[in-house]
Structure 1
């Protein structure tokens, strides 16, 4: 069964587009997939089907400024004016809708890349509503975010918040191909598979190659600042199980360092964290043919262990 849902965003402007995928079997839990910067939730169809086959309901939406939500509202790259918690609050609204339809089931989050940052923000505020979280392709200190924030804030104060300056995007993310050798598309850092790179670049629902407003980029930097250090980790319920995964050739995770940085913050504040770093793989470990089944089975094993 498939439910298509639409709800008003926290930004008081957009109608967020979402989906609830229900297996043809008695569900044992719910997983909400939270996608990353510039992409959309249907890039996770392989994972969605895998989770459904394991008797989990799967919920997902396209963030404001992204995917079908951006198409329906004509707001590509524009996240609105309500600040960096917008996407997190939208994910909580989706959870509320799902739980109204399917109450009293264990509820998990899976967040990749920016989705992992949103998941961490969510866990700090609403973690007591969750059974567990998986964060994938995450990082501790996002390289250059502090300097980018200063420049972006200056542009916003000058009335340029709704403009899109490619220099800001390049400064914030342009370094990510530094270990990729020959670069022709600019997204080679996501995965070493040229097919995945081209599929990502050609996807009509993909906002990664579309301009992002200065305000949205600033909100991204503020999101990162809010989930840094033990001061963030202390807000996450200590009893919440956490699975932290990524690739050691992922620039977002600083080639493993940022992944362990997050786990160490959580360990230092008394949390239980399982950390798995896949050697030789870039950002989208769930899109490598060689390991995507293993990655998904690891997430399922983590959730099943929580349920048992």
Structure 2
């Protein structure tokens, strides 16, 4: 069964569009899937299908400025005016909508890339409502963050928040092309070494990655990164929340494993339960490699199934 849902965004302007996928069986839990920067939730259909087949309800939406939400609201790259918690609060609204429809089930989050950053924001406020979270393709300290925030602040002070400075994407994200020997002919090579995944991502009509992102939206993105950095962030996460931290060890977003472990260490040093998995030789989208995606999905399922059991004890 598939429900298409919508709800008012925290930004008080947009309508967020989402989907709830339900197995034709007694569900054992719910996993909410949170997509990354510039993409949309249907890029995860293989993972969604796997989770549904294994008895999980899957809830997913397209963020403000992204996917169907951007298309219906005509707001590509525009996250609204309510600050960097907007996407996190929207994800909580989807959580509440899903729980109202399917109450009393263990609830998990999965977030990839910016989705993992949103998860890390979410669990500082709503972590007590969850059975566990998977963060995929996350990082530690964002490179040159203060310098870029200062640049964006100047643009906003100059009245250019609703414009898209062409220099900002390279300033914010250009470092991600390290260790891509094929270069940057498409502009997304860092996501995956498979050229078919690269081409599919670039040609996707619901993909906002190639569309301009407003200076103000990039500023909110940077503020979110500030908020989820360091032990100060980790101390806000409930100590009893199970966390599964996964990435490829050639993922430039995860700084080739060091940023992934930095996040794990912030959590461990503040008393949290974290399981970490680095997949050797793989870049950012470990869930889209043909020879790896089923292994990645099985690992997430094992993590959730383990904590389903603990929920019942």
Same fold by TM-score greater than 0.5:
yes
User: How many residue pairs get matched?
Assistant: 308
Correspondence for 2:231: 230
Gaps of 5+ in 2: none
Q: How does 1:40-189 map to 2 (within 5 A)?
A: 40-182=40-182, 183-189=184-190
Distance (whole Å) between structure 2 residues aligned to residue 152 and residue 259 of structure 1: 26
Distance (whole Å) between structure 2 residues aligned to residue 206 and residue 166 of structure 1: 18
- SS of 2:176 mapped into structure 1: coil
Correspondence for 1:257: 258
Distance (whole Å) between structure 2 residues aligned to residue 171 and residue 233 of structure 1: 27
Distance (whole Å) between structure 1 residues aligned to residue 176 and residue 267 of structure 2: 26
Correspondence for 1:281: 282
Correspondence for 1:272: 273
Distance (whole Å) between structure 1 residues aligned to residue 175 and residue 278 of structure 2: 22
- SS of 1:4 mapped into structure 2: strand
Correspondence for 2:215: 214
Distance (whole Å) between structure 2 residues aligned to residue 139 and residue 126 of structure 1: 21
Q: Deviations over 1:249-272 (max 9, x none)?
A: 111100000000000000000001
Gaps of 5+ in 1: none
Distance (whole Å) between structure 2 residues aligned to residue 61 and residue 106 of structure 1: 19
- SS of 1:235 mapped into structure 2: coil
Q: Deviations over 1:227-281 (max 9, x none)?
A: 0111111111010000000011111100000000000000000001000000100
Correspondence for 1:32: 32
Distance (whole Å) between structure 2 residues aligned to residue 245 and residue 178 of structure 1: 20
Distance (whole Å) between structure 2 residues aligned to residue 294 and residue 241 of structure 1: 20
Q: Deviations over 1:180-217 (max 9, x none)?
A: 11221010000000000000000000000000000000
Distance (whole Å) between structure 2 residues aligned to residue 214 and residue 26 of structure 1: 46
- SS of 1:175 mapped into structure 2: helix
- SS of 1:230 mapped into structure 2: helix
Correspondence for 2:298: 297
Shift of 1:144: 2.0
**Over aligned residues, Cα RMSD in angstroms?**
0.5
Distance (whole Å) between structure 1 residues aligned to residue 118 and residue 145 of structure 2: 16
